[in-house]
Amino acid sequence: MAHAASDPPPEDEARNVVLLCLDTVRKDYFDAFAPRIRERADVQYAGCRAASAWSTPSHASMFSGRLPHDHGVHTYAPSFTGLDRSATLLGDLPDHRAVGVSANVYAGSAYGFDGLFDDFADVTRYRRYPDALDPVAFVDEHAGEGLATYRALARAVAAHDHPARSLANVAAHRANDLVRHGPLGALPELFDDGARVAGRAARSRLDSEPFFLFVNVMDAHEPHRRVRGYDGPGGVPRGWSSESLDPADVVGDVPGRMTDVRRYRALYGASIDYLDRWTVDFVDRLQDATDRETTVVVTADHGENLAYTDDERLFGHIGSLSEGLLHVPLCVLNAPENLGTVEGSVSHLDLGRLLVGLARGETPDVVRDRAAAELVGRTPSNDALTGERWDRARRCVYEDDRKWVWDDAGTVRAYDLDPARPCEQTPVEGDATVPDWASEFFTTEPDLAAFRERARARADERDADPLDADVHRRLADLGYR
């Protein structure tokens, strides 16, 4: 069902609302590398937790206000097609035109995410103009044809509805390919990972108000390398890339891979600094282009394990419900009122209520006493991380400054949290027990092990792979091996 809310204001008073997802940005690095967003924010929620640990289930939770076992979008069922728009936050914004722009394949048209919106655009780093020809997909489709591929490409550009933009896409792809895989490999990448394309695509689609705009940008997601426009991260050699840095190798030998991990961390921080500068510019451009008040909510679908002790020496965003993955930023720019920093626990499960309230000129109280998160199965395309350690279902709950985490094998751990130290968790010594009240979050699937087995069995009954080669290429480009 849609999120309960008060009667909407007259249409001419409704605000535009924007949900900007800085994919993979954890709270401690956001605090360190995004001072401009924080300075511009009227409201900062210090204790926001994502509802899951990777993109697909987290996006479904942000929009539906439900955990993965309830909304049904997770590793074993990654399609959004079963998520009805009326059962999401958009169901409570009937007068808002819904526009989506995403650089994340898992939150894109390949998985049916576009079906929630009135207008939607998938963007990639190499397709500078999303409405023009995609040169990478074209070349992949004609692989092995030699010079005939390029003659066909020239004909396709000339015949396209947007030939000039198609030619620009081809030129951009070829230029960047010389940097990534060619003789100019010591130079920074020429283009960001899609933020500028996403911003342009979003602004071009805002032809009526009020609107709800969702934007996902992937610049903080792996693979990491120097990019033109970054403030140079120290200690990272020219030409270094994380493309060959496999999570399985890091987890298996953190001390032996620490040089690469430090470089990864440096570039991760530089990418967030870049997104910080990009975001305030994007918000300024939106404010200049709109007639109504436009409120922007900035968050992340999840964070990233960076092989710190508090990450349990894990790397990436697989097989874990660590604070590095779940503690994420949540800021409101141009809110109806200035609340400053709001302490206490906030969950992405209440993001819909926050956004709907903001659209109506209110800043609802979304602080809660308890919160929960859930991970069902292993993040896809991480075949090197095999075994039961990774392919499990996990749940966690929060109360005050204590966190409990358990899995379908019956392992339970408790952690102490310090609100002043984001993304850190201190193991509590001794045996831990899941609190009785945790069941209130999982009433429809109280047995975690049984739920996981049913979900995996249903996945085995489906077609093995419904995705086309272009989607697989984009996933590989984002580090999903």
| Residue 432, pLDDT above cutoff 80 | yes
Residue 279: the pLDDT is: 99
pLDDT one-digit tens code per residue, 342-387? 999 999 999 999 999 999 999 999 999 999 999 998 777 555 555 6
Asked if the model's pLDDT at residue 290 lies above 50, the reply is yes
Q: Give the model confidence (pLDDT) of 229-249 as tens digits.
A: 998 787 899 889 998 888 888
Each residue of 445-464: pLDDT tens digit? 999 999 999 998 887 665 55
C-beta separation of 245 from 253 below 8 A: no
Residue 96 lies in a domain: yes
Convert the pLDDT of each residue in 13-56 to its tens digit: 899 999 999 999 999 999 999 999 999 999 999 999 999 999 99
- In which band, very low, low, confident or very high, does the pLDDT at 132 lie, cut at 50, 70 and 90? confident
Pairwise CA distance, residues 31 & 456, whole Å: 38
**pLDDT score, position 74:** 95
Number of structural domains the chain divides into: 1
In a domain, 361, yes or no: yes
Query: What pLDDT score was predicted for residue 183?
Result: 72
Q: Residue 203: which CATH number?
A: 3.40.720.10
Q: Which domain holds residue 315?
A: 11-125+192-369
Mean pLDDT computed over every residue of the chain: 90
On the question of pLDDT at 223 being above 70, the answer is yes
| pLDDT for the residue 63 | 99
- Say how far apart CA 157 and CA 160 lie, in whole Å: 5
**Structural Rg of the chain based on CA atoms:** 22
Higher pLDDT, 341 or 380: 341
Summarised one tens digit per residue, pLDDT across range 59-107 is: 999 999 999 999 999 999 999 999 999 999 999 999 999 999 999 999 9
**pTM for this prediction:** 0.91
Reply yes or no: is the peptide bond before residue 57 cis, omega within 30 of 0: no
Look up residue 325 and give its DSSP letter.
Answer: H
Question: Which pLDDT belongs to residue 2?
Answer: 45
Tens digit of pLDDT for each residue in 307-332? 999 999 999 988 899 999 999 999 99
Enumerate residues 6+ apart whose C-beta is below 8 A from 336: 15, 295, 358, 361, 362, 363
388 — pLDDT class (breaks 50, 70, 90) = low
Q: How far apart are CA 382 and CA 391, in angstroms?
A: 10
Q: Is residue 144 one of the residues assigned to a domain?
A: no
Tell me if 153 is assigned to some domain: no
Q: Give a yes or no: residue 147 inside a domain.
A: no
Element (H, E) at 271: helix 258-289
Please check whether residue 384 lies inside any domain of the structure: no
Q: Considering the chain, what percentage of its residues have pLDDT values greater than 70?
A: 89
Classify residue 230: in a domain, yes or no: yes
Q: Quick check: is 89 in a domain?
A: yes
Per-residue confidence (pLDDT) for residue 13, from 0 to 100: 83
* Residues above pLDDT 90, as percent of the chain: 71
